[in-house]
Structure 1
Amino acid sequence: MLHIRGILLLVATAGSGPAVAADNITPAEMPAEPLRVPVEALAAAPVVDGDLGDWSGDGWITVTVHPAVRDDADNRLGTIDVLLRAGVHQGRFYLAARWPDRRADAVYKPWEWRGDRYRRGKRLDDMFAARFDLAGDYHSCMIADATYQVDLWLWSAGRSNPAGYADDLMQAITTRFTENAAEYTGPGGKTVYIRKKRDAGTPAYTNTRPDRRTFQGDKLPGVAWKSPPTGSAADILAQGVWADGHWQLEMSRALVTGHEDDAELPLGALRVGAVAVFDRNSSEHKSVSGDLHYDFSALR
């Protein structure tokens, strides 16, 4: 029995998933109020390199993230505090984050020679996800009886980070039947379908497929990089650096990209979102925030 805390940020490969019983959702565990994240007017553009020295002075917001699934033995992170900061400079949005992690996991599913062939390894990388309301009836719980879409920025230490980008994705949540979607049981016993789709264009990396029976070394990379990505897949610059038991991450995207699969970030208004952190994990085995209100009201 899975007890879901707050939002459920699914970033696994789209497909059928395990059912989650609606009567196990505990909304009382969610923060009573959304957390406001003020968006600053930056005097200069931070260099997107994972060095947070460009973010001088005060302004860091502490965002507490909790395991998405109660008593999840596969969640290696637990409850931690993420330091978050956001700003705008010349039409671009910048997001900086810092969180504790005992080690950097920056290898993703390498191919390993076993016996007479290569087999895909199971090792996963660290990840950070930022979610923004895109369209429809947004809900903080992703298995609610609602239909909406979110813009998902997904940084991965072993995949997107070497290329200097984050994956740009769209998630569609609905109670209407959807092919190639993860399926969960929502409120009232309804099935909730969650489908993840990459934004248009060529991504920064692809999974490798070596000749499995030709020995080329004990281990082969699980990922190959294409630089640079193209189209909407190239929207989000991102770079993370691990040091002294912490990840430091910077992300940047145009406020308005002109792509239908991207959320506009409106000056003078609010944009609802959330974040999630993964420690060598994926799917529901992560720690998530409650609703965040990115406040652009001081900017015109």
Structure 2
Amino acid sequence: MTSLSAFARRLGAAALLATLAGCSSPRVERAPADVTFSVGIIDGNPGIPVVGGPPGNGGAPQTATTVHLKFLGGAPGPFTVVAQRLARPPAAGQPVDWTSIPASTVPLVPAAEAVGLSKEAWNTEFQAALGYLQVWDYGIYDVDIKAAYDDQRLYLQLQWRDSTQSLAHHDWIYRVDPATGLGAFARRTTDEDVVYLSFLIDPAAAGRAASGCTTACHVSERRGATTPDDLAYRFTMHAAAPGLRADSWAWHAGRTNPLGLADDASWDEAGLYGDCPDPPACTQLCAGGEAPPCSTPPYAGDDDAPAPAPLFMSADGIDASPAFLFLGGAGAPAAVPFDPGAAASAGATLPGAALQRPSAHRGDVSARGTWANGVWTLELSRDLVTSDPNDAQFPLQ
């Protein structure tokens, strides 16, 4: 009996310890701090030919200038996206399972409306300053956004309606003059679908909560001014004040999507710069406004300037009409030097750019977009924390 009583007491003590262990403090999940960002979308179809200027498309996007991204809870809303922690990272090469993650339908407005201009005022400013008109309204009025994260990465999914899949950015087409029978490649005004995201790099130092904008932010300033300095200020991407720096992610349906990435860049009060492999030294090198030798973009223009001719063609031949060309083993078909003596057939096309692997840090943002049944679905992801001082950081708190 004594041994049985002792056994019972020991058993009770073990149960008590197990109960106490179960009542210990629960694990607290760490999350990044809440941030804001802006989003802009361009519909590349149709490219609008404009006398005296580039195509009307490819300009200022439909935009939402301030969207709140919350990691610490909250309710999804028109300008609030709530990120959910993933139980486990997605398998390599696989998308996130977005099924149970709620979407926020974020309203988008035309660029002019975002900066307080009427259609008439917008057209007046562009015509006077640049000699051509910009697209007023791309007809994209909302985008569904979902967000998730794990211990390593941030994931975003964007879905929006677009009746056409536009991939060709200023491509070439071979046209034959019926009167002479002579032919040549001519540049078209086609354009691609594009998404821009912008995050402040240091919101506290900037003294503002908004992430800036992803549209023609400065057209409404210095209205009517057309000096070279005014044009540079009003019609280029830059911050409004010193100390305001933004991390820019630009996804291009034809020029970055085939590589599985978005173009990672940053901008300050002087301009926009592609991320570079040796920051911050290379950033200083590029800060004078020259073409940045320190940063390799994910594409090279297929334009043998000043001659109006392509620079590259497909290794498969002049009549292959590939959707994409790749440099340096980045994909297939390979781009080779354009052969001006090659005989092309009427209607043959060449891409407006050749795709290549970007330099370090410029390819930090993974991206994959698919188009089906009139809807684009785009997933972007990036490490929460990178070693690039020109990136916004999302450390777990």
TM range (shorter): 0.5 to 0.7
| Paired residue secondary structure (1:162) | helix
CA contact (8 A) 1:50 1:250 kept: no
Higher relative contact order by CA 8 Å / sep ≥ 6: 1 or 2? 1
With over 3 angstroms needed to count, the CA separation of the structure-2 counterparts of 1:42 and 1:216, relative to structure 1, is farther
Q: CA deviation at 1:45?
A: 2.8
What's the TM-score, normalizing by structure 1? 0.64
Residue type matched to 2:241 in 1?
A: A
1:162 matched residue in structure 2: 258
2:368 matched residue in structure 1: 239
1:39 matched residue in structure 2: 83
2:18 matched residue in structure 1: none
With over 3 angstroms needed to count, the CA separation of the structure-2 counterparts of 1:79 and 1:239, relative to structure 1, is closer
% identical aligned pairs: 30
Q: CA deviation at 1:253?
A: 0.5
CA contact (8 A) 1:165 1:236 kept: yes
- Identify which range, 86-95 or 43-52, moves more after superposition: 43-52
Larger Rg: 2
With over 3 angstroms needed to count, the CA separation of the structure-2 counterparts of 1:266 and 1:90, relative to structure 1, is closer
What's the TM-score, normalizing by structure 2? 0.50
The yes-or-no answer on 1:118 pairing with 2:214 is no
| Paired residue secondary structure (1:224) | strand
Which residue of the other structure, out of 81, 88, 98, is the alignment partner of 1:55?
98
The yes-or-no answer on 1:219 pairing with 2:349 is yes
Gaps (5+ residues) in structure 1? 1-6, 12-16, 18-29, 179-194, 269-300
Cα distance in 2 for partners of 1:216, 1:233 equals 38
Q: CA deviation at 1:40?
A: 1.4
Gaps (5+ residues) in structure 2? 1-37, 43-52, 54-63, 69-78, 114-118, 123-133, 176-181, 222-239, 278-295, 303-310, 313-337
Which residue of the other structure, out of 153, 159, 164, is the alignment partner of 1:98?
159
Q: CA deviation at 1:266?
A: 3.3
Cα distance in 1 for partners of 2:92, 2:158 equals 12
2:112 matched residue in structure 1: 69
With over 3 angstroms needed to count, the CA separation of the structure-2 counterparts of 1:85 and 1:8, relative to structure 1, is closer
The yes-or-no answer on 1:207 pairing with 2:301 is yes
CA contact (8 A) 2:196 2:248 kept: yes
CA contact (8 A) 1:165 1:234 kept: yes
1:146 matched residue in structure 2: 241
Q: CA deviation at 1:119?
A: 3.0
Over the aligned positions, Cα root-mean-square deviation in angstroms equals: 3.3
4+ runs deviating over 6 angstroms: 7-11, 30-33, 47-52
With over 3 angstroms needed to count, the CA separation of the structure-2 counterparts of 1:75 and 1:243, relative to structure 1, is farther
CA contact (8 A) 2:200 2:247 kept: yes
Cα distance in 1 for partners of 2:257, 2:354 equals 12
The yes-or-no answer on 1:264 pairing with 2:308 is no
Deviations 1:42-92, CA, capped at 9 Å, x for gaps: 12334697967x102142111111111143772453352211011112311
- Identify which range, 43-52 or 206-215, moves more after superposition: 43-52
| Paired residue secondary structure (1:108) | coil
| Paired residue secondary structure (2:258) | helix
Cα distance in 2 for partners of 1:165, 1:225 equals 11
- Identify which range, 205-214 or 88-97, moves more after superposition: 205-214
Higher share in helix: 2
With over 3 angstroms needed to count, the CA separation of the structure-2 counterparts of 1:47 and 1:196, relative to structure 1, is farther
2:149 matched residue in structure 1: 88
Which residue of the other structure, out of 274, 283, 288, is the alignment partner of 1:198?
274
Count of residue pairs brought into register by the alignment: 224
Cα distance in 1 for partners of 2:359, 2:265 equals 14
CA contact (8 A) 1:169 1:196 kept: yes
